[in-house]
Amino acid sequence: MTRRLAWLALGLVVIGALVYGVTDRSTATAHERAQKLGQTIMCPACSGESVADSQAPVAVFIRHQIADMVAKGESDEQIRDSLTAAYGDRIILNPPKSGVAGLVWVLPVAVLVAALAGLVVVFRRWRTPLDAHVTPDDVDAVERARRAEGS
Partner 1 sequence: MNVSASLGTLAVALGFASSAVGVITLAMGLRTRQARMLKAGRAYAGMALAAAFLAFVVMERALLAHDFSLRYVANNGSRATPTIYTFASLWGALEGSIILWSLVLTIYTVAVCVRFRERVTDPLVAWATLTMLGVSTFFFALMLGPANPFRVISGLVPADGNGPNPLLQDHPLMAIHPPFLYLGYVGFTVPFAFCVAALVTGRVGEGWLAITRRWTLLAWGFLTVGIVLGAWWSYEVLGWGGFWAWDPVENASFLPWLTGTAYIHSVMVQERRGMLRVWNLSLLLATFSLTILGTFLTRSGVLDSVHSFTQSSIGVWLLSFFGLVVAVSLGLIAWRGDRLRAPGRIDSPLSREGAFLANNVLFAGFAFVVLLGTVFPLVYEALKGDQITVGRPYFDRMTLPIAIALLFIMAVAPVLPWRKASAELLRHRLLWPAWAGAAAIVLAVLAGARGLAPLLAFGLAGFAAGSACRQLVLAARAARRNGASIFGALVGRANGGMVVHLGVIVIAVAFTAATSFSHSNEFRLTEGQTAHIGGHSITYLDTVTKKTARETKITARVKVDGGQVFGPALNQFPNATQTIGTPSVDVGLRRDVYLTFVEAPKTPHGSALIGVVVEPLVSWLWAGGLLMAIGTLLALVPGRRRIPTAPVSEQPVPDRTLTPA
Partner 2 sequence: MKRPAVWVTAGIAVVIALLVVVLATRKPATDRLVKSPLVGKDAPAISTTTIDGSSRYALADQQGKWVLVNFFATWCVPCQREHSELVQFANAHAATNDAAVVSVVFSDEVSNVVSYFKQRGGGWPVVRDDNGAIATAWGVARVPESYLVAPNGLVVIKITGGVTDDFLEQQIARLESAK
Rounded to 5°, the CA angle 94-89-45 comes to 85
Residues that bind partner 1 (CB under 8 A): 3, 6-7, 10, 13-14, 17-18, 20-22, 24-25, 31, 35, 39-40, 42, 45, 47-50, 52-57, 60, 88-96, 100-101, 103-105, 107-108, 111-112, 115-116, 119, 123, 126, 128
* CA 72 – CA 117 distance, rounded (Å): 50
* CA 49 – CA 56 distance, rounded (Å): 10
What one-letter code names the amino acid at 132?
A: A
* CA 52 – CA 55 distance, rounded (Å): 8
Q: Which does 140 bind (CB under 5 to 8 A by kind): partner 1, partner 2, none?
A: none
Q: Which is nearer to partner 2, 58 or 93 (CB)?
A: 58
Q: Which is nearer to partner 2, 68 or 138 (CB)?
A: 68
Residue 63's nearest CA partner among 89, 44, 90 is 44
Q: Contact positions toward partner 2, by CB under 8 A?
A: 44-45, 56-58, 60-62, 64-65, 68, 83-88
